Amino acid sequence: MKNDLRYALRVLLKNPGFSSVAVLTLALGIGATAIVFSIVNGVLLQPLGYPDSDRIVYIWEGDNQDGFTRNYQNQTSPQNFLDWREKNQVFEAIAGYANFKESVTRNFVYTSGDLPYRLNGRFVTTNYFKVFGQKPLIGRAFTPREEARGSARVAVISHQLWSGIFNKEPQIIGKTMNLENAGRHTYEIIGVMPEGFRHPNTDVWVSIAHAPAFRGWTKGAQLMNQRGGTVMRAVGKLKKGVSRERAMGEMNAIQAGIFEEHKGNELKGDSWEIGPNIDLQPILDSVVSRVRASLILFSGAVGLLLLIACANVANLLLSRALARQREMSSRASQGASRWHLIRQLLTESAVLSLIAGLAGSALAWWGTKLVLQFSAGAIPRAGEVTMDWRVLAFTLAVSLLTGTLFGLAPALQSSRTNLSDALREGA
């Protein structure tokens, strides 16, 4: 094998023009494939950065006839949410947050001195962080009593907000901040979440006990007392060993009882009614659903590009094989078997593809950054896309596979030697 490798390197170095064209052609195909795989791996294949994220699901309410389009009309009402949380036996925890369509709950204004800052805020149930298996980096999370009406106004902030506006102030716990959202109120900061956790794209979380009533109800009413109006988004963590199908069966039974008891309750002038069915959507699917089909289609297109590159290199090798017929005949006349000739030619192809793989990896490292830079905001989980060991292992596997693909046919062709013809030509 060492002799085969040495000979392969000598042959490639003696033909720099051919070797350069072949390596460049393959490197482009392998590099493009590695770029796409690094994105697919980071976006579609890797689990979210929460403990047991495969057990976290969104809970949608609606009618099977609408296909669960998973928009604001397929969320739920606060009272329905409380029924789910109380009656279910399949979830480790169910949490929710106010998600008004007109974004009332998301626009918080924090004022420091004379400078106002617009923040993404959420009114959440007090067990919200439990669903995601997250604990504050410093301070504490909400307690169950802070979900009751009239409880103290407290807030948990993101690591990004703490690092930015508050400049990582060590004594941040116990400090107050004035937040304006359907009124100006003072909140005590009780915790800072770990770096990287902002679900769903949030700077500050406050208890849902202080969420404003949805439009159409009596001013000042507590949001959690309302039934009807799909203004809450629910997320739950399944118990260990509970399948999604089993959970859907139980939740649909609970929802059927709620529907029979309250069907026809409309939200003053709106057409939103209580939905009779429940659908559970894995949280990863909710994050990547809008790009999954595009990435799969793009992967197929890049795979075809790699096959075209392999075909082009195979054509180059077949053309070169004609010029090497005399060499193969000479080696056969000296006792080389057909298998030895095939092995030698495949070794040359493998060396060529591995060199192209190294060049393709360098191209992918640079190209992945470029793609993410120009597609900022269009690709979810873009921050988790990296050239890790999985991508490198994939690139190595692709390199070896392409070496076999484009090298096999030329190797078989070149190894068919005819000694009598070679001698007749004066070889």
Residue 45 pLDDT: 83
Residue 220 pLDDT: 41
Residue 344 pLDDT: 73
pLDDT band for position 424 (cuts 50, 70, 90): low
User: Which residues, other chains included, contact 231 with Cβ-Cβ below 8 Å and sequence gap of 6+?
Assistant: 75, 77, 78, 98, 99, 100, 214, 223
> Does 236 have pLDDT greater than 70?
yes
Distances (CA, A) of 144 to 125, 126, 128, 134, 358: 9, 6, 11, 16, 55
Residue 319 pLDDT: 75
Cβ proximity of 411 and 342 under 8 Å? yes
pLDDT band for position 313 (cuts 50, 70, 90): confident
What is the average per-residue pLDDT within 21-34?
88
Residue 333 pLDDT: 60
Of 148, 146, 149, 166, nearest to 157 (Cα)?
166
What is the rounded distance in angstroms from the CA atom of residue 42 to the CA atom of residue 287? Answer: 12
Residue 140 pLDDT: 93
What is the average per-residue pLDDT within 172-182?
85
Residue 287 pLDDT: 82
The mean-pLDDT minimum among 39-48, 94-103, 307-316, 381-390 falls in 94-103
> Does 95 have pLDDT greater than 90?
yes
What is the rounded distance in angstroms from the CA atom of residue 32 to the CA atom of residue 271? Answer: 49
What is the average per-residue pLDDT within 7-27?
80
> Does 96 have pLDDT greater than 50?
yes
> Does 162 have pLDDT greater than 90?
yes
What is the average per-residue pLDDT within 15-24?
83
> Does 233 have pLDDT greater than 70?
yes
Q: 198 by DSSP, 3-state: which?
A: coil
Residue 311 pLDDT: 83
User: Which residues, other chains included, contact 137 with Cβ-Cβ below 8 Å and sequence gap of 6+?
Assistant: 159, 191, 192, 193, 194, 195
The mean-pLDDT minimum among 19-33, 158-172, 234-248, 339-353 falls in 339-353
For the segment 316-356, what is each residue's pLDDT rounded down to a tens digit?
A: 877 776 666 666 666 656 655 666 667 777 777 888 888 88
The mean-pLDDT minimum among 49-63, 94-108, 195-209, 320-334 falls in 320-334
For the segment 49-61, what is each residue's pLDDT rounded down to a tens digit?
A: 888 889 999 998 8
Between 264 and 159, name the one with better pLDDT. Answer: 159
pLDDT band for position 217 (cuts 50, 70, 90): very low
> Does 88 have pLDDT greater than 50?
yes
Residue 102 pLDDT: 46
